Structure 1
Amino acid sequence: MTEPKPKIFALIIFIIGVFMSALDNGIISSALSTINYAFNVSEVQGTWGVTLYTLGMAISTPIAGKLADRYGRKKLFLIEIAIFALGSLMVALSANFPMFLAARVLQSFGGGGIFIIASSHIISTYPKEKQGGLLGALGAINGIASVVGPNIGSLVLNVSGHWSWLFLINLPIAVFVLIAGTMAIPETKAAHGGNLDFKGLIFLTFGILSFMLAIANIQSQAFLSSLATPQVFIFLILGVIFFIIFSQIEKHIKGKVEPFLPYNLIRNSGFLLTLFMGLLSGTLIAIFVFIPSFVEHRYGISASNSGIWMSGIGLGSIIGAGVGGTLVNKFGATKSLVISGILSTLGFTLITFLSPTTTWFLVSSTLAGIGFGMLMGAPFQVLMSEIAGEKQNGVALGTLSVSRQVGLTLAPTIYATLVQGGFANFVSDKLSHISGTAGIHAGQSVENLYVQIRHLTGTAHTQALAAFQQTAQMAYQNMFFVSIIASVLILIGGFYLYKHNF
């Protein structure tokens, strides 16, 4: 039986909104240098445009999910779209860097709830046998946006000549979604019987903010030592304190107040394990950032062509998101987690130990992409909605999204530390034995070392390049090994949940 056209059109509107918000995360990466130059700020300062957006998304996601369940998903979705559009306009019109950062925060408050509300709409509107495929489609949209975002950004930047158009293109899309959504999206909300838990909301917000600020202050080139710096450990301690206070508030709520994150979920082992696996899935998605550098350093592919070799893992993740939804409909969420864990483990194992050529890497990375692409869509969301129930669905999905965002934020620092550590003794151990390389000194970034080696000539160039690629294989091997561990833990977690009938 086919779905009514109004129902399909409403779903298309949600998908367009999800694509718009997901695209923004990738599209800005193509213009970071241009934006930094326009505002005359350093690279470190420039990254706060991304960091603050991440912080805002992490804070607003569970809040939007809870408010949507309570006051109406259509209403909150349209409000989120409007805030995102206003933030996009303010970013484009920013006259200075502080205004740019403030506008990015506003934009993030709008973007944080779009995906979660769309997911909640599917779960509340469609029968269970169709939810997996549709949630998988939403995950595929996120995957597509993350892959094509940098390419679209570069195209818009080249055509328009100014970075502001990267954000102005959101406005006509947002206007269409607002008008069409007002007319076509039905209103849905979860049943509730109490006042909103504002006290819990405040402490949860400060807890998330503290942890995300701690992660943002970790330095990749001095990972362990930076953990001991005040700007990291103080925020970590504050985060723990705020979350303890939050859990106690939720535990002792009485009367007509409706808990923000019900204590029965906090005590639920399946809920907590799903959050942990969501965090691990975020660490796998973060691999995208390092694929071009790996291909360039390991196989000698030029920087201009290295992005092409993301095609396998990118296409695989898109296929995996769709397949994941189908598997959830057929086998259930926990079995799908086990299957995706197996594929992801196998793919990253092949990348780590059995990819001597780019062809092998393309095959291995596609398999890995299919595995973790399955995790981006249906399995986690369906599992979380089943654990939480319809009444608590929005906040549960929002919390899951935050856990994934934490993994996605933390992983690049860990990966960069492992890669940099793999090259720590490269100059003294490898280059010191090659004549003609005395001018290359230790303590540089991996990219700078590679550039200097490429400028060598004759035998020195050949020997140094071979040594560099050999070292790159081992250095990046450490990074991919972390992905193997994450995949295995997801596999074990999925098997545990399956055995215990979650």
Structure 2
Amino acid sequence: MGTTNNNQRAALTLFTVGVFMAALDNGIISAALTTINRSFGVSASWGAWGVTLYSLGLAVSVPIVGKLSDKFGRKKLFMIEIALFGIGSLLVAVSQTFSMFLISRLIQSLGGGGIFIIGSSHVLSTLPKEKQGRALGLLGGMNGVAAVLGPNIGSFLLDLTGNWHWLFLINIPIAIVLIFCGVIFIQETSNPNDGPLDFLGSLLLSFAILSVMYGMTNLSGAELIKSLLTLKVYGFLLLGIVFAMLFIFFEKRVEENGHDPILSYSLIRKKQFQWTLLIGMLSGAFIAAVIFIPSYVEQVLGISAEKSGYWMTPLALASGIGAGLGGVIVDKRGPIKALFLASIITMIGFFLFPFWVENLWQFIVASTIAGIGFGITLGAPISVLATEGAGANKGSALGTLSVVRQIGLTIAPTIYAGFITRSFQSAGEKMINHLKDAGININDIPLEYLNSLHENMDQAAIEEAITNIPDPTVQQTIMNTLHDIAYEGFSGLYLTVAIISCLFFFAVGILALIRTRNKEKML
């Protein structure tokens, strides 16, 4: 018994390290994007494909890897995923052209996408029910903390080495150790089915996810409705819906014929699973709000750009604590109570940003509360709900949950960024009005400075224009106005997150009613 427990702990440690490594990679690259773009001589818009392609690869690979792990064995798939991720990391580091860099990032994503799903599925298949919550909380906590700390760790490694290649080379020894130890400590688990792999279903699902995700990446936060009406957005979204409908129809036929679908149709049509997916998508919207913390600290609280990223640390640590707490609550009280608590804490945390936060200590309090709240949702509660009634399709269910969470992560930043962009679009006009209110004669300010303020709509450009103004009184008035504009934009952003947490609360309530009715029917 002691040896078995030691092996289980060792296996969980390996999965945790693998999850941390894979989740870290998508954040770590953001710190080096400018350097990477410069090294390949590409524009920022082209360079962004290094992140976009990785996200698309994750979204497509996750549900398929989840199914493959159920069918062929989670230990085998973990080894394959880690090996792919290590090979992809090596290819990224040695890329001589931007095309090779993008292909290598795709290989990386195909390897990194399924590690969290395989680890979670392994926990649900090997640990007793009373221990699953803590283990899933640990995996979820590492997933969330890595995503939050990624940019900071990337900046640190870049400063330390002066070379962006090391951001990826560091993955290789870790991958080798994980494979070597995995052979020894991870026991094989699977839910095999004699039917052939559902290749056509996998293809239809991949096309559906790719179309929807690509369409959403073309949305504009500043002009959301207008961008939604462009062909490159609604065209791909409609194409994704068509593929999704074909996928569901095909999966129904596969299941009716007694074969093994990539995603069980009987699972898809369950109301409990559908509401769990909606809750998963809303949890993705919580996580997306974290992206804007450094900008908030810089623009609203006046911290320098070089140090703003470090103020992610309280929230990152809190989210890890929240994930662990969520696991404990799930083990003792169940997933629904954990999610109710998460929604209330998250709501309080994000409401504090627009209505209370004025300085750094208040920011630490608010971000810690918000971090604990959304941290609870990262691991155990939603994963446990998604796999209830999934039977042999735990990996597939978790993979589907991961995809809809990624959709939330993709849509939400576009909406959030719109608040900030719109607040700065009228920056020049607002500054001139504030100067007049301060008794400053606009005619005394050289025309080229006023034109500069009108033309520059982003904060960095406006601040540069302000430093060129010789009058310190004018500079201070404009800087105060800039602060008010930023505060207005971020207040709208975090108020929206708080409202989403309210919707999350009601969605959990509906799910609780559905689960109660299902249990009554079974009695």
Tell me the TM-score normalised to structure 2 length. 0.92
Residue matched to 2:432 = 431
How far residue 433 of structure 1 moved from its aligned partner, in angstroms, is: 4.2
Instruction: Give 2:344's aligned amino acid.
Output: I
Equivalent residue runs for 1:180-219 within 5 Å: 180-219=181-220
Is the 2:15–2:139 Cα contact (8 Å) retained in structure 1? no
How far residue 191 of structure 1 moved from its aligned partner, in angstroms, is: 4.3
Is the 1:277–1:489 Cα contact (8 Å) retained in structure 2? no
Equivalent residue runs for 1:464-475 within 5 Å: 464-475=478-489
Is the 1:200–1:246 Cα contact (8 Å) retained in structure 2? yes
Question: Residue 486 in 1 paired to residue 500 in 2?
Answer: yes
* 1:452 pairs with one of 465, 473, 480: 465
Residue matched to 1:293 = 295
Is the 2:321–2:372 Cα contact (8 Å) retained in structure 1? yes
Residue matched to 1:328 = 330
Q: Distance in 1 between matches of 2:182 and 2:343?
A: 37
Residue matched to 1:113 = 114
* 1:271 pairs with one of 270, 273, 280: 273
Greater Cα shift, 127-136 or 353-362: 353-362
Is the 2:456–2:462 Cα contact (8 Å) retained in structure 1? no
How far residue 356 of structure 1 moved from its aligned partner, in angstroms, is: 2.2
Q: Distance in 1 between matches of 2:174 and 2:236?
A: 38
Residue matched to 2:513 = 499
Residue matched to 2:453 = 440
Equivalent residue runs for 1:140-289 within 5 Å: 140-253=141-254, 254-289=256-291
Q: Distance in 1 between matches of 2:509 and 2:28?
A: 37
Instruction: Give 1:64's aligned amino acid.
Output: V
How far residue 321 of structure 1 moved from its aligned partner, in angstroms, is: 0.8
Q: Distance in 1 between matches of 2:165 and 2:107?
A: 16
How far residue 161 of structure 1 moved from its aligned partner, in angstroms, is: 2.3
Instruction: Give 1:295's aligned amino acid.
Output: V
SS of aligned partner of 1:187: coil
Q: Distance in 1 between matches of 2:274 and 2:98?
A: 39
Q: Distance in 2 between matches of 1:192 and 1:81?
A: 24
Change (3 A) 1:26 1:400: same
Q: Distance in 1 between matches of 2:75 and 2:405?
A: 24
Q: Distance in 1 between matches of 2:7 and 2:302?
A: 52
Residue matched to 1:25 = 26
Is the 1:66–1:395 Cα contact (8 Å) retained in structure 2? yes
Question: Residue 397 in 1 paired to residue 398 in 2?
Answer: yes
Q: Distance in 2 between matches of 1:179 and 1:308?
A: 34
Q: Distance in 2 between matches of 1:354 and 1:124?
A: 45
Q: Distance in 2 between matches of 1:482 and 1:455?
A: 36
Residue matched to 2:519 = none
How far residue 110 of structure 1 moved from its aligned partner, in angstroms, is: 0.5
Change (3 A) 1:251 1:387: same
Is the 1:335–1:498 Cα contact (8 Å) retained in structure 2? no
Q: Distance in 2 between matches of 1:233 and 1:450?
A: 36
Residue matched to 2:321 = 319
How far residue 432 of structure 1 moved from its aligned partner, in angstroms, is: 4.0
Change (3 A) 1:429 1:151: closer
Residue matched to 2:439 = none
How far residue 454 of structure 1 moved from its aligned partner, in angstroms, is: 5.1
Q: Distance in 1 between matches of 2:180 and 2:405?
A: 31
Q: Distance in 1 between matches of 2:429 and 2:238?
A: 39
Structure 1: segments with no counterpart, 5+ residues:
none
Is the 2:149–2:312 Cα contact (8 Å) retained in structure 1? no
Is the 1:195–1:256 Cα contact (8 Å) retained in structure 2? no
Q: 1:327-357 CA deviation, whole Å, 9 max, x = no partner?
A: 1111100111111000001111111212122
Q: 1:179-201 CA deviation, whole Å, 9 max, x = no partner?
A: 11112210000143433222211
How far residue 255 of structure 1 moved from its aligned partner, in angstroms, is: 2.6
* 1:376 pairs with one of 339, 353, 378: 378
Higher gyration radius (CA): 2
How far residue 480 of structure 1 moved from its aligned partner, in angstroms, is: 0.7
Q: 1:337-392 CA deviation, whole Å, 9 max, x = no partner?
A: 11100000111111121212222121111101110011111111111111423x11
Structure 2: segments with no counterpart, 5+ residues:
436-441, 517-523
Is the 1:136–1:322 Cα contact (8 Å) retained in structure 2? yes
Q: Distance in 1 between matches of 2:508 and 2:193?
A: 31
Q: Distance in 2 between matches of 1:322 and 1:448?
A: 42
Q: 1:259-317 CA deviation, whole Å, 9 max, x = no partner?
A: 21111122111111111111111111112221111111112222122223222322221
Is the 1:270–1:387 Cα contact (8 Å) retained in structure 2? no
Query: Number of paired residues?
Result: 501
Is the 2:149–2:313 Cα contact (8 Å) retained in structure 1? no
Is the 1:147–1:314 Cα contact (8 Å) retained in structure 2? yes
Instruction: Give 2:505's aligned amino acid.
Output: L
Q: Distance in 1 between matches of 2:337 and 2:467?
A: 48
Is the 1:18–1:115 Cα contact (8 Å) retained in structure 2? yes
How far residue 442 of structure 1 moved from its aligned partner, in angstroms, is: 4.2
Q: Distance in 1 between matches of 2:468 and 2:133?
A: 52
